[in-house]
């Protein structure tokens, strides 16, 4: 077996790099409330903004907060890049991109969604529109040039409709009749991932359920997805998968829909933080890929564990945290790809945990080893045969820490990697299931976004 050796001093360095990212991935993101709900939108002209080229963003974290760097590149970037030489702000986490425009969280740290473009004269990334909200936008999709939809982290269950061209809201789709999880005793719930199925013309929104009094990241016994009919702009139904937990994609949420119109969700499970570890852990506590058919119903018999497909059924801990569709019934995901059953440091901490003698510091160390050790890899998943094959040429990555990805313009995918020494992006050729390095960062923290402006985000 390929046993990944842990160097804890290197892991501490990785912890510093990913500190802010790890906080945001557990419960809520820290943002500043936008005090200006109405802002003028500059007029656009076709000659005003770039439609080709690339955009990169990265994040530096410190005890005082975080700084995001972002910049435009005329040609595909290569080598080691110093992002501190480019523009900076508090946030620019990407939702999607279309026709050369980027839709992301505002760079000033405000709530809502902003529309960005690259000024053709200055090559600067400029905000050209904004929709302000009183709570955090969690996920967003655009279905055509005048129709977009997003969900929020607080308030009533609803989907907000907006016009991506004018950046004005156009209405809401009321989801008050959808499945409603109790809110007492510390529970919160909201729609955290939104997908669009263009074959069925439906939106699919997964419900995130958490109790702030527990250490785990998901506190329900099943997975819930609400179906929204776009044609009638109305709630259709909530479907339930009773043997899967945590249907949330980290990093970039992409609509994973095959050519026949089946939709796929990644249920992450609970990483073993719930104390249920190893081959005897319940199926629902481990990662699974779920299928929703063209009738918008779960096919419960379809679910499978992608880590098990690599022969790692006996691992104490299994992670699979993101997935993107590559076409031709192939998806690409980040999964645990190393055997952890003989790691001495991990075994020592598990023995203390089992004996009830583990200290808080040691428990925190255990969680860090589980979540932030670079023991995951990008893999190709055949959604028909359920085979899982590592992408050739890819390094190991710390897969829990928001593994971002994006579609390129020509049968290719751009995927992030993070380890103790560096972060960057690789380009996956989906025809050959192989990857080559595009760039790394020499300064500017951890890379988060890499977008081809001539492509369209799903």
Q: What is the Cα–Cα distance from 148 to 143, expressed in whole angstroms?
A: 6
| 8 A C-beta contact, residue 255 and residue 291 | no
pLDDT tens for each residue of 95-143? 999 999 999 999 998 899 999 999 999 999 999 999 999 899 999 999 9
- Average pLDDT for 279-286: 93
- Average pLDDT for 340-358: 89
Q: What is the Cα–Cα distance from 139 to 15, expressed in whole angstroms?
A: 26
| 8 A C-beta contact, residue 99 and residue 144 | no
Q: What is the Cα–Cα distance from 189 to 173, expressed in whole angstroms?
A: 18
- Residue 307, pLDDT > 80, answer yes
Give the mean pLDDT of the chain: 88
Q: What is the Cα–Cα distance from 39 to 286, expressed in whole angstroms?
A: 45
Structure-token pair, residue 129: 């529109």
Can you give the pLDDT at residue 31? Answer: 42
pLDDT tens for each residue of 197-226? 999 999 999 999 988 888 778 888 899 999
Q: What is the Cα–Cα distance from 309 to 230, expressed in whole angstroms?
A: 36
User: Which stretch of DSSP H or E encloses residue 362?
Assistant: helix 360-372
Can you give the pLDDT at residue 30? Answer: 42
Sheet holding 137-144, edge to edge: 137-144, 147-152, 158-163, 168-174
| 8 A C-beta contact, residue 206 and residue 192 | yes
What is the distance of C-alpha 119 from the center of its chain? 28
Partners of residue 159 on adjacent β-strands: 173
Contacts of 152 (CB under 8 A, 6+ apart): 133, 135, 136, 137, 138, 158, 160, 190, 191
pLDDT tens for each residue of 64-75? 788 999 999 999
Q: What is the Cα–Cα distance from 412 to 414, expressed in whole angstroms?
A: 7
What is the distance of C-alpha 375 from the center of its chain? 18
Sign of the C-alpha dihedral, residues 292, 98, 151, 379?
A: positive
Partners of residue 193 on adjacent β-strands: 206
| 8 A C-beta contact, residue 370 and residue 273 | yes
Share of the chain above pLDDT 90, in %: 66
Tell me which residue of 201, 206, 197 sits closest to 175, measured CA to CA.
206
Please state the domain extents for the chain. Answer: 8-42+50-452
- Residue 40, pLDDT > 60, answer no
Contacts of 448 (CB under 8 A, 6+ apart): 57, 58, 59, 68, 93, 94, 402, 404, 416
| 8 A C-beta contact, residue 312 and residue 353 | no
Q: What are the CB-based long-range contacts (under 8 Å, 24+) for 420-429?
A: 420/7, 420/10, 420/11, 420/13, 420/14, 420/374, 421/10, 423/17, 423/58, 423/447, 425/450, 426/378, 426/393, 426/394, 428/326, 428/332, 428/378, 428/391, 428/394
- Among 15-19, 241-245, 382-386, 403-407, where is mean pLDDT lowest? 15-19
- Residue 34, pLDDT > 90, answer no
Q: pTM here?
A: 0.88
Kind of pairing between the strands at 288-292 and 388-390: unpaired
* pLDDT tier at 46, thresholds 50, 70, 90: low
CA atoms within 13 A on the CB side of 395: 19
* pLDDT tier at 41, thresholds 50, 70, 90: low
- Residue 19, pLDDT > 90, answer no
- Residue 42, pLDDT > 50, answer yes
Phi, psi torsion values for 8, nearest 5 degrees: -70, -30
- Average pLDDT for 151-163: 92
- Residue 375, pLDDT > 80, answer yes
Q: What is the Cα–Cα distance from 378 to 158, expressed in whole angstroms?
A: 34
pLDDT tens for each residue of 411-454? 799 999 998 888 999 999 999 999 999 999 999 999 999 999 99
**3-state SS class at 30:** coil
- Average pLDDT for 141-168: 94
Can you give the pLDDT at residue 354? Answer: 83
CA atoms within 13 A on the CB side of 380: 22
Q: Which residues of 110-133 are buried (b: 16+ CB within 10 A; e: fewer)?
A: bbbbbbbbbeeeeeebebbbbbbb
**3-state SS class at 433:** coil
At how many degrees (to 10) do helices 360-372 and 8-26 cross?
Answer: 90
Partners of residue 264 on adjacent β-strands: 291
Q: What is the Cα–Cα distance from 141 to 161, expressed in whole angstroms?
A: 10
When the candidates are 1.10.10.10, 2.130.10.10, 3.40.50.1100, 3.40.50.11540, the CATH number that belongs to 8-42+50-452 is 2.130.10.10
């Amino acid at each position: 077996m390929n046993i990944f050796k842990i160097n804890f001093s290197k892991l501490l360095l990785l912890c510093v790099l990913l500190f802010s990212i790890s906080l945001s991935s557990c419960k809520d993101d820290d943002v500043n409330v936008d005090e200006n709900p109405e802002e003028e939108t500059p007029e656009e002209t076709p000659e005003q903004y770039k439609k080709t080229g690339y955009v990169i963003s990265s994040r530096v974290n410190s005890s005082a907060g975080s700084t995001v760097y972002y910049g435009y590149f005329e040609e595909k970037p290569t080598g080691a890049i110093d992002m501190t030489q480019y523009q900076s702000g508090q946030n620019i986490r990407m939702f999607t991109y279309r026709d050369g425009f980027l839709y992301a969280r505002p760079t000033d740290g405000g709530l809502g969604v902003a529309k960005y473009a690259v000024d053709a004269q200055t090559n600067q990334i400029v905000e050209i529109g904004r929709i302000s909200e009183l709570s955090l936008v969690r996920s967003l999709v655009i279905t055509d040039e005048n129709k977009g939809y997003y969900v929020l982290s607080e308030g009533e269950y609803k989907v907000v409709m907006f016009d991506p061209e004018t950046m004005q809201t156009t209405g809401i789709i009321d989801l008050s009749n959808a499945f409603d999880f109790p809110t007492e005793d510390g529970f919160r719930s909201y729609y955290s991932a939104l997908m669009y199925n263009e074959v069925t013309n439906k939106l699919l929104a997964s419900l995130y359920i958490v109790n702030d009094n527990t250490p785990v990241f998901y506190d329900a016994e099943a997975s819930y997805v609400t179906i929204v009919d776009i044609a009638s702009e109305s709630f259709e139904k909530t479907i339930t998968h009773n043997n899967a937990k945590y249907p949330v994609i980290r990093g970039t949420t992409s609509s994973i829909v095959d050519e026949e119109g089946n939709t796929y969700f990644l249920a992450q499970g609970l990483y073993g933080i719930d104390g249920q570890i190893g081959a005897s852990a319940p199926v629902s506590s481990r990662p699974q890929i779920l299928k929703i058919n063209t009738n918008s119903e779960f096919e419960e018999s379809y679910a499978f564990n992608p880590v098990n497909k690599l022969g790692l059924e006996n691992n104490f801990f299994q992670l699979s945290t993101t997935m993107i569709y590559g076409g031709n019934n192939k998806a690409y995901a980040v999964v645990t790809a190393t055997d952890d059953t003989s790691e001495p440091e991990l075994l020592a901490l598990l023995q203390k945990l089992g004996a009830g003698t583990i200290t808080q510091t040691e428990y925190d160390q255990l969680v860090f080893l589980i979540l932030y050790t670079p023991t995951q890899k990008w893999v190709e998943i055949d959604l028909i045969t359920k085979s899982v094959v590592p992408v050739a040429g890819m390094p190991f990555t710390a897969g829990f820490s928001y593994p971002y990805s994006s579609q390129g313009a020509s049968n290719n995918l751009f995927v992030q990697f993070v380890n103790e020494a560096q972060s960057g992006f690789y380009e996956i050729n989906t025809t050959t299931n192989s990857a080559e390095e595009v760039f790394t960062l020499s300064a500017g923290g951890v890379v988060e976004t890499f977008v081809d402006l001539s492509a369209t985000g799903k």
